[in-house]
Structure 1
């Protein structure tokens, strides 16, 4: 690594381009550390930021394109025999194949952030004859995101690049896996939506036959939901102490990055972002949801009941979580884990991102609503970190618990929609 860093200091862009090209052909080079150090050189004003990203992305694209054509030219039999030289043995081929089956071509975008995977996705894409157009669209976008992320991080970290590089790399991998899981969930839902609906309908119908009462089945479903939520709280409570050290590292890194990226000039903007979680704004958003349900909803009473349960339950959940975790925030005044603001924001804005697209057939409106809701949630949490009201781990935990509570209510809402349609044989 020291030798490559010295070469980068001496020859700059040429070494950056060649090193990343060779890494994507599967040579064991420390591409991420190299790009982070490149960012440090940019911080010292010895290299140009946009040019460095362009050169790094070009090297990455050349490397993965060469591996794609080599995979296409040499074929599966060659790599089964000699693939171990580029870390692509039969077992790994099968593993990557399963991943592509689950996540589709989107894996090409995320794979760069996963060590041991980015080096072989080009070969695999060529072996499996993925069309060049699909391969290029996903892998080239991923190359720009990957190189831009690590070079920019190095620039932001400056003289602290070596101190934080490995920790940031770890959290980026975790984040990539979470995003991959979410994409997998979305893909499975879209691909098997009808089958999931039919299976749920059939399961509930059998349950209704077994219990001979719509009221009983509703109570059982609600009981299962409460038990699931209680179990989730208990499990997280048990592992809290184990995660305490991880929280400290995560908080230190995120706070450093936020303070480095968002200077004092962002103060007014952050105040506006923070207003997304105040009472007046949330009342306005809830009013919009109620009006939308009354105008567009098919099961108005049903949906309004669940909205009430969702909001009332959010207040109870916030209280219970504070009692369980009792972790003081940065100001040492009051408990902030998980963040009440983040939990409430993800629930309210998440519900509006669910209910409006459900009854809107216009794709552009749905895209705007979902995108705006996601942006508001992120920016609201960011403002809490910026003003040092809450720790980053408080904010992330708020998102996590809010997401669980929101998704649980949406699932129950959809299940309860089905129940009145069920028919069963009392005999």
Structure 2
């Protein structure tokens, strides 16, 4: 790649783009997800961190002294967005991985005292500084694969002070590296050992109004999330928690229909959650509820791959007119996969989604899943200039070879934040 004369200039023209995948702003539904204009021989003009113009390079504005950055004949796409991760976490659950390979289910491990509680012990023992040190390399590796925004959750502290600690670590991580972070308060992730048999008492503590107001008003999180499923929290418990969170000023997300169908996706629709995530067991009522509410369906194929369970019906969700996003669900128990491009490959090869649908799901619709769709996830004038330069000349060629990283450079708000060393 020929570097820009001044790659951090306030104005920058990205040139020599073989194919610009000009994803439109989200949320995108149904057949719209496949509608991605592919502009050949394109250029993008960036001013003050935002896209000011894009189109054929022969028509590009050529101001005197304008810095340029060559895409070297590669494809350029919007920055990828991972709208569901469990960063920051600590500890190692590789032993559970082997237990699952031997046939033990995720739910059985959870019920035997493993699972989330094991990670909770590690997070409780960690300091904010420990969490930052362990998770900073993860975010840097995600950036190298083209990810420019990541949703991060608490949910492993399982006590007010430790949940706050996780959110404070997210805030510190946001200031320590260039990937944009959006924080979610997932206090209702599991019932800790000290509250065994008393889930309502735990929810009263973790969902106390003063605590929720502290999280919202203090800018520690923008969303509240709950694990509503068999072996976790019931629909009524989740409803009470989410209604309190909404009253405190937090937007809503729901872990829904992963292990069993208990009505979690219908609850997400009824409360007009921004997203409902997992959905492996979603039914027709849940689909109708999400469609009516405009809730983004976040599908996590890496989790199904990692656990060896059935995938969420992504094609059915798209055909039903839902805006579908994809995410890693990166976590130490059910999906230790940090590579969003690898998740995209699974979506193509196992869920049989079209590459343009997958790209939309990881950009425009992923932005909608974190309520950033008016500024991110698309190639549009006025949007943040979060762009990824690929080695492959086309989107199809990129998807065709998922086993290696084809990212040449990443721009975040118009600034080069990653550039692959020349090979």
More helix by share: 1
More strand by share: 2
Return the TM-score normalized by structure 2.
0.25
Return the TM-score normalized by structure 1.
0.25
